[in-house]
Amino acid sequence: MLRKIIPLYISVIFLISLFPCLSQASSRYKSSITLNDGLPSNNVHQIFCDSRNIVWLATDAGFFEFDGGKIVIRKELEHLYGERILSICEDNENNLWIAATNIGLCYFNGHRIKIYSHKDLGIKQEIQTVVFDKNLNNLIIGTTDGIYKVAINNKEKLQLTAFETKKAINITRFIQNDNQLLAISTEAKKIFECNITTNQVQLLKRDDYLPLIEFNQFHTSLLLNELALKNEAFKIRNNEYDDIECEIIQTEQVTNEIFYLIRYFIEGIEYRKVLKVSDHEVEDFSKSNNIDDVFVQSIFVDEDENNIWLGTKDNGILHFQNSIFQYFGASYFNLDEFIISDIATDDKGYIYIATKNEIIYFRENQIQKRISTSELCTIKEGRHSSVCEEKIKIYDILNNGKSKLWLATNMGFYTLDLNNDSIKFLGISPAEKFTFTNDGQLCCLWKNVFSVFSGKNFQEKTFSYLISKSINVDVSKIVAHNSEVWFATKQMGLFRYKSGEINHFNKNNSDIHNIINDLLILPDGNMVAGGNNGNIYKLRYQNNKLNLLGVIDHDLGLTGNSIQGFQYLDDGSLWCGTNKGVYRFDYQSWKSDSAISYQFWNQTKGYYDRSGKNSIVDKDQNIWVKTNKQLLKITPSFIDEIQKSYCSINLKKLQVYNKNWHPDSSKINIWTKQITGPISLSNSQNYLTFSFGFQNCLNPGKSVFRYRLKEFESEWSDWSTNTQAVYSNLPSGDYILNIQGKHLNKANIIPFSIPISIAYPWWKKPWFYAITFAALVAFIIAAMRIYTHKIRKEEEERNKIGTSILGLKMKTLQSQLDPHFIFNALNSIQGYILEQETENALDYLSDFSTVLRKNIDNADKDYITLSDEIAYLKHYVKLEQMRFMDRFIFEIVLSKEINPYDYSIPPMLIQPFVESAIRFGLSACKGDGLILITFDLEDNNYIRCTIEDNGIGRSKSKEFDAESRKSSHEKTMQIVQERISLLNKMNNNTSKYDYKVFDLFDESQKPIGTKVEIGLPFRKTETNTFR
């Protein structure tokens, strides 16, 4: 209790601070989330962060997950939508317990909600708050009539034990600290200490002398006792009422800051206030941030990003974000009006602020000294002059690096000695802007005239230049670089001065705009300039020309038209402001062939005063900006810390062929709904759409992402706001989906990866390959055996056919050497000899011997040339002519396409048909017999041989032929038919050997002869040698 901690003689542990140096300019900026932003209710009772870093809201409209400024609708929580939720806690098993006014106590395990009604619990009053005691594994609930301990080991039936109280007490919340549980009632000065072991409640008694806080005009006070705000009560001094007694109802700590939610009563009405303690100083956070009239119900501190979230009554959620911007307004300097003429700095870290009435020395966010500008008039006039005070105006101030602050006024120049604060009037010239060159010249501008002064105290004017006679030129910036001076104007572009010469550059002779708001010379000798056309120019003066090296414009991400406030820091960053926000460029990345890297802050990120124009950089590389009504400090060193993002990326959804893919429960986090992987898909599930985004990100800002599917692609996608990755027709295999995300105003990149496997089809699996290979080998072996067997069989068949053909040829030869033929031939020779026709006998004998020789020669040949076959036929037919006493004639005709020496045909195929024509067709003729043998070339390696006679025909010849002749002829033709059949088996061509016999008739159908057509597939003759 309080009296055990603080001795009775201590009456005040907070002292009044009379100095403004205790004030701290806020580095947080406020935003809000209300019904208009999608919040279900503006009455937020509690903001609770569980062990999974998921934030939950207890509101008058239900229980909701809160993710980065938006409400996440969860189907399993739909039973609580529309219900008044007052309190949330988490047990040892990481399950949530929720106090709902009209329902009772609710249990949520990520899958489902289980509701224990008031009747189930055996209580009649509403549950208003719930906490979990880790030591006893029990819940403690506060109702409108008392306190209860709830045993939760058996989820089917909870066991309640009431705390002993003398009378009913209405408990609204609990405070847990240092193994102590305090119950807060609705009544003032009613805080109870709970003994969980004995189930007893005791009212905390207070000392008569409570600690006192009295805030100064900056809403701060010095903390002298570390134990002060660890107690239950203290007092705040109030000018309208007596000292107000306050009670602490919530404490939250982050890094070196502690936030307290306190309550106090005035005329029976409860009020709330938030206090912040940091560096031995307590601040009225509510008053400093203009939320003193807001009823705060819950504080949540985001420890990762050091942001503050307040759940309020009727005002939704207030969000206070860390910022690199600090604002120092009139109240900070205890002024009614704060109009800054100019600012300067030195190597000691001082910021010198020139206003209408004074010069302020400012260091480490504290006012060190004030010097009234009335002293300037006293020095000039030698006496005090109120008229002078009204007329004198400071335009520009500059530290020359020699412990002197130069002041440019409408009365002339003054110097302020920074060591002894003495002021000296130099006169020289009135000036609005001025600078010093390295060779000891003072260059200044006044009413369109640029002047250069040198000599002792710069009393000698060495150069003067009238900028314009027709218009009043507004000079926005003047800078010196070595011995040259540049100044920018808002009407006429840029001017350069060196060695008594002026060069003028504008849109007529350079690629710049005529309106130039600011100009800065960089360490590498380049210049940057910006105007009102939304372009930042990188320039370099060389060879008497102003060369344009590059432009940053809207296409490269620049927003806003008015450019001003350039500064270059030691880390290589280039800063500037626009009418839309502040930019930090990576100057080294500004190349002609690539986009420049940048970061951007606008109003939503704390840069809400965009009236700044002039700026300076102090020794710690902080940027100070003079705005219309306040001083702005930008602390780049905070960027690395503030711009870290502790959000995580998750895979929110996977679609296969545009239909949601539902993994089994082992691959999804039931609380975050995140797919945890690995993702295993079938080979047909290869058209994938991945949806991703930040998870549990309380301060997401504008986010961009890029992705790649490793093992499928090596290059990352471009950075964009797109939160989907689509892949079609993915081949089977194992992949890793890599995703990177970042916020535009944050530096670090947040990675995410998940393995993905697309199964191979059964025909691409190893076992199938093994079986297929084995089957292929077996097939090849079997095919080789079958082919070998086939070749062997074909060879055997070929040999058999060859033997048969040879036998048939021998039979044909035998038929051609028929005894009747030989006998008839010998008789014919004998007849010629007896009749002493010696010459005929010799001719006949010569032809007969030729026929016999060719029969024998051709017997062992497969093919002979067509010329040999024709020669053989001529000899044979000639013999038959002589035997039949020239009763017929014959003719052999070749088509023009046939060269008989180029074509080869089987021997002994044509002669039997010629013999048949003579024997059966012409033998009965008395004379004028004719045999016509023609050879025609057809397509497909085919020769058509036609044998036509004008004999008696086949039907009539049967009447004259003896049976022996018929039998001999039939036998010969049978041999020919068998030989043709065997030749066709051996021939691989599509053309086949065949023959057709036609009877010829006249118009009266009287037989007039026979025609035989023989089809002969031929071979081209390659050599003159045939087997």
Confidence at 791, pLDDT banded by 50, 70, 90: confident
Q: Which of 752, 785, 804 is the last residue of a domain?
A: 752
How do residues 559-574 score in pLDDT, each as one tens digit? 889 999 999 999 999 9
> Is 313 a domain residue?
yes
Enclosing H/E stretch for 1007: strand 1007-1017
Count the domains in the chain: 3
Task: Say yes or no to pLDDT of 967 above 70.
Answer: no
pLDDT more than 70, % of the chain: 85
How do residues 895-907 score in pLDDT, each as one tens digit? 988 898 988 888 8
> Is 482 a domain residue?
no
Least confidently predicted of 345-359, 638-652, 892-906: 638-652
Confidence at 139, pLDDT banded by 50, 70, 90: very high
Which is more confident, 420 or 801? 420
What is the reported pLDDT for 935?
Answer: 92
Report how far residue 360's alpha carbon sits from residue 358's, in angstroms, rounded to the nearest whole number. 6
**Phi, psi for 806 (deg, rounded to 5):** -60, -40
Confidence at 390, pLDDT banded by 50, 70, 90: low
Residues with Cβ < 8 Å from 85, sequence gap 6 or more? 45, 46, 58, 59, 60, 62, 63, 98, 99, 100, 101
* Per-residue b or e along 466-490, where b marks 16 or more CB atoms closer than 10 Å to that residue's CB: ebeeeeebebbbbbbbeebbbbbbb
Nearest of 629, 609, 615, 607 to residue 330 by alpha carbon: 629
Tell me the range of 93-102, 868-877, 1008-1017 where mean pLDDT is highest: 93-102
> Is 614 a domain residue?
no
Task: Say yes or no to pLDDT of 178 above 80.
Answer: no
Mean pLDDT for 995-1014 is 88
What is the reported pLDDT for 709?
Answer: 93
Residues with Cβ < 8 Å from 953, sequence gap 6 or more? 921, 999, 1000, 1001, 1007, 1008, 1009, 1010
Give me the domain span that covers residue 880. 796-1020
* Per-residue b or e along 56-83, where b marks 16 or more CB atoms closer than 10 Å to that residue's CB: bbbbbbbbbbbbbbebbebeebebbeeb
Task: Say yes or no to pLDDT of 453 above 90.
Answer: yes
Amino acid at site 240: E
Residues with Cβ < 8 Å from 954, sequence gap 6 or more? 920, 921, 997, 999, 1007, 1010
For helices 766-816 and 963-986, the axis angle rounded to 10 degrees is 150
Give the Cβ contact number of residue 234 at 10 Å.
Answer: 24
**Phi, psi for 639 (deg, rounded to 5):** -60, -45
Q: Which of 279, 296, 323 is the last residue of a domain?
A: 323
What is the reported pLDDT for 97?
Answer: 96
Residues 99/121, Cβ–Cβ less than 8 Å: no
Task: Say yes or no to pLDDT of 123 above 60.
Answer: yes
Mean pLDDT for 831-847 is 78
How do residues 409-427 score in pLDDT, each as one tens digit? 998 999 998 888 888 899 9
Report how far residue 615's alpha carbon sits from residue 565's, in angstroms, rounded to the nearest whole number. 6
Report how far residue 615's alpha carbon sits from residue 635's, in angstroms, rounded to the nearest whole number. 13
- At 1018, is the secondary structure helix, strand, or coil? coil
How do residues 196-209 score in pLDDT, each as one tens digit? 889 999 888 776 55
What is the reported pLDDT for 225?
Answer: 47
Least confidently predicted of 81-85, 917-921, 1006-1010: 917-921
How do residues 740-789 score in pLDDT, each as one tens digit? 988 765 657 889 999 999 998 888 778 888 888 899 899 899 988 888 88
Report how far residue 311's alpha carbon sits from residue 307's, in angstroms, rounded to the nearest whole number. 13
Do 110 and 228 reside in the same domain of the chain? yes
Do 960 and 905 reside in the same domain of the chain? yes
Mean pLDDT for 508-532 is 92
> Is 719 a domain residue?
yes
Mean pLDDT for 418-444 is 91
Residues with Cβ < 8 Å from 957, sequence gap 6 or more? 920, 921, 924, 951
What is the reported pLDDT for 241?
Answer: 59
Do 682 and 805 reside in the same domain of the chain? no
Mean pLDDT for 908-917 is 85
What is the reported pLDDT for 294?
Answer: 94
Confidence at 668, pLDDT banded by 50, 70, 90: confident
Task: Say yes or no to pLDDT of 381 above 70.
Answer: no
Which is more confident, 756 or 830? 756
Report how far residue 491's alpha carbon sits from residue 516's, in angstroms, rounded to the nearest whole number. 8
Nearest of 690, 686, 657, 659 to residue 761 by alpha carbon: 686
Residues 887/929, Cβ–Cβ less than 8 Å: yes
What is the reported pLDDT for 538?
Answer: 94
DSSP state of 429: -
Maximum CA extent, the chain: 184
Do 947 and 842 reside in the same domain of the chain? yes
Do 14 and 74 reside in the same domain of the chain? yes
Do 280 and 172 reside in the same domain of the chain? yes
Do 280 and 166 reside in the same domain of the chain? yes
Mean pLDDT for 723-746 is 87
Do 145 and 286 reside in the same domain of the chain? yes
Do 202 and 314 reside in the same domain of the chain? yes
Please, is 893 exposed, middle or buried when counting C-beta atoms within 10 Å of its C-beta (0-12, 13-18, 19+)?
Answer: exposed
The CATH code of the domain that includes 853 is: 3.30.565.10
- At 294, is the secondary structure helix, strand, or coil? coil
How do residues 7-33 score in pLDDT, each as one tens digit? 222 222 333 232 333 344 556 667 889
Tell me the range of 22-31, 356-365, 517-526, 583-592 where mean pLDDT is highest: 517-526
Do 845 and 914 reside in the same domain of the chain? yes
The CATH code of the domain that includes 7 is: 2.130.10.10
Average pLDDT, the chain: 83
What is the reported pLDDT for 15?
Answer: 30
Residues 680/783, Cβ–Cβ less than 8 Å: no
DSSP state of 125: S
For helices 866-883 and 838-858, the axis angle rounded to 10 degrees is 140
Q: Which of 323, 341, 366 is the last residue of a domain?
A: 323
> Is 466 a domain residue?
no
Confidence at 332, pLDDT banded by 50, 70, 90: confident
Least confidently predicted of 284-298, 705-719, 763-777: 763-777
Task: Say yes or no to pLDDT of 311 above 70.
Answer: yes
Residues 276/259, Cβ–Cβ less than 8 Å: yes
Which is more confident, 811 or 945? 945
Residues 992/1018, Cβ–Cβ less than 8 Å: no
> Is 352 a domain residue?
no
Confidence at 143, pLDDT banded by 50, 70, 90: very high
The CATH code of the domain that includes 723 is: 2.60.40.10
Nearest of 73, 86, 9 to residue 43 by alpha carbon: 86
Which is more confident, 595 or 452? 452
Least confidently predicted of 74-83, 264-273, 596-605: 596-605
Nearest of 99, 53, 39, 108 to residue 78 by alpha carbon: 108
Do 740 and 886 reside in the same domain of the chain? no
Do 239 and 99 reside in the same domain of the chain? yes
> Is 632 a domain residue?
no
What DSSP string runs through 725-788? EEE-SPPSEEEEEEEEEEETT--PPEEEEEEEEEPPPGGGSHHHHHHHHHHHHHHHHHHHHHHH
How do residues 219-267 score in pLDDT, each as one tens digit? 566 554 444 455 566 666 665 557 788 888 888 887 778 888 989 888 8
What is the reported pLDDT for 497?
Answer: 96
> Is 600 a domain residue?
no
pTM higher than 0.75 for the full model? no
